[in-house]
Amino acid sequence: MNDFSELENDLRALRPARPSPVLFERIQEAMAENRKASVSDAKPMASWLRRFTETSYRFGIGLAAAAAAVLLLLARINTDPTRNEDKEIAQVSPPVETGPVRPAFSGRNGVDGSISSNKFISAGATQVVYNSRDEGLQFADSSRQPLRRLRYQTQQTWQWRNPSTGASLRVSYPSEEVVLIPVSGQ
Amino acid sequence: MDNIASHENWKNCFSEIGPGLLLFARQWTRSAADAEDIVQEAFVKFWRRNYKINNRALLYATVRSIALDFIRRDKRRARREATVFAEADPSVEPQFEWEDEAQSALAAAVNCLPHDQREVIVLKIWNELTFSEIADALGISQNTAASRYRYALANLKKSLQPQ
Strand ranges, E, within A4-59? 15-16
Measured CA angle at B27 (ends A4, B114), to 5 deg: 50
Residue B134: per-residue pLDDT: 94
User: Quick check: is B2 in a domain?
Assistant: no
Cβ separation A14–B49 shorter than 8 A: no
User: A99-103, A172-176, A181-185, B27-31: lowest mean pLDDT where?
Assistant: A99-103
Cβ atoms of residues A112 and A141 within 8 Å: no
Cβ separation B153–A8 shorter than 8 A: yes
B98 near A CB under 8 A = yes
Residue B5: per-residue pLDDT: 44
**Most B CBs within 10 Å: which of A18, A31, A54, as the mutation test of the B interface?**
A31
CATH, residue B107: 1.20.140
Cβ atoms of residues B144 and B130 within 8 Å: no
User: Quick check: is B28 in a domain?
Assistant: yes
pLDDT, one tens digit per residue, over B76-121 is 666 665 665 555 455 456 688 877 888 888 898 998 999 899 999 9
User: Quick check: is B3 in a domain?
Assistant: no
Q: Which residues of B touch A11 (CB under 8 A)?
A: 106, 110, 121, 125-126, 156
- Residue B155 sits in which domain range? 10-160
The Cα A8–Cα A102 span in angstroms is 76
In this prediction the pTM is 0.51
The DSSP bridge partners found for residue A124 are A159
Establish whether this prediction's ipTM goes over 0.95.
no
Query: Which of B19, B48, B106 has the CB atom closest to A11's CB atom?
Result: B106
CA quadruple A105, A106, A111, A116: dihedral, nearest 10: -120
**Domain total in chain B:** 1
Q: How far is A53 from chain B (nearest CA, A)?
A: 15
**What is the Cα A39 distance to its own chain's centre?**
43
Helix (H) or strand (E) holding A176: strand A168-182
Cβ separation B47–A12 shorter than 8 A: no
The Cα B40–Cα B62 span in angstroms is 11
Q: How far is A42 from chain B (nearest CA, A)?
A: 17
Residue A18: per-residue pLDDT: 85
Alpha helix segments (H runs only) across B56-141 = 56-73, 75-86, 101-111, 115-121, 131-138
* Residue B23: HSE in the Cβ half-sphere, 13 Å Cα cutoff: 28
Pairs of residues, one from chain A and one from chain B, whose beta carbons lie less than 8 Å apart: 88
User: Quick check: is B5 in a domain?
Assistant: no
User: Quick check: is B92 in a domain?
Assistant: yes
User: Quick check: is B4 in a domain?
Assistant: no
pLDDT, one tens digit per residue, over A26-77 is 888 888 876 666 655 544 455 555 565 556 556 667 777 777 777 777 666 6
